[in-house]
Structure 1
């Protein structure tokens, strides 16, 4: 009975506190605060604001400079599990009917930590004693990361320039004797386009991964190499209007190492 009396007493005190003037003032203040907050929320809802979608809509690309600026802001760096790839874009607009594209995008890839190229970095990793247990998987993952990054960038550009023919690649040129500007070397990698020839007599046959290890070991490889050379010769003779716009595609036939010994 004593416990019940204490409980009733406590309840009585609590109820009396609820109806004291001080409590009533607190309740009224809270109600006013809620009204103010509600009004502020309504104002915030009515206030115009920008968002990421609006910014995307405002992004308009019509020139090489605008395209370079866009790429520099959005696709300048890729951190793979092995190296960081930096993209230092050069973009040029073509007005020559002898060339197949409207825009050319050179990735100008450089690496951190430094290496001669992405593939050189992959080879170094495969030879690493520290990573010998996982090197093959590491390299496969890093290559996929690079491919996915470039493909995403390419498809974004194609979407923004739907009526333009675009060539993208990592283009690197140098002279074997730079002071004399003799023996030019040109290497191209990671080539992609959104255009293809309307028609050709010869068909390109992709080289297998182990092509350079097994070249000349059987007639099929030799025959395919002849076909590839015929396709490339025919391709170089095609002009702007001989190409049609297509979806994104990797173009292995544009990956090459060319020497000019003069």
Structure 2
């Protein structure tokens, strides 16, 4: 029986999703340049001053400069998932967890480079006979734990703001965590008797945070397409048809999906 009504369009998604390498280009474009620039200034300038002036620092001062760089890098990492246009991105060609994992890569790589450069400058400001005592291992552990904590807080912020602003939770959370760690003695000077105990705490924070973060990402990756993609593309309508997508729906990653 002819009703004179055209059938609703059917959407057949592509079976092959973009690879992680293909997602790196848009991830680089969306990298938070402002927070990374601020992190570069906070990580490099304080350490470059003593080197330029030829001033000799002690081990506690060099460790303080490296820890300042670690906090700055963690703050930048907490901004890496911000997406003010998240509500207008109704279709994603990949699981959200995969996209966020790829988006974190440029920020983490840049942050690692900035922290290493800042810590190397702080070590250069030490007297030649003391540079071998610079505690790279412990300071790397602290920086990694703060960065993982920032990512966890950013994920909580994204959950509360509809995927738009993870930094609203990450920025104050990292600053409060750093202040609490200082008050609790988790930033001891190198050679202090509480150094080993403090870094056992940092190792626990890093292990728990990384496990929680990786578990959430892997769960999203193995769970198939994102719920937002399924809801937008394959939402059943009355009569078993598929509803047409709104006109303003657009894809951030691929123009044609």
TM over 0.5: no
Return the structure number with greater relative CO, CA threshold 8 A, min gap 6: 2
TM-score, normalised by the number of residues in structure 1: 0.29
Larger helix share, 1 or 2: 2
TM-score, normalised by the number of residues in structure 2: 0.29
Q: Higher Cα Rg: structure 1 or 2?
A: 1
Larger strand share, 1 or 2: 1
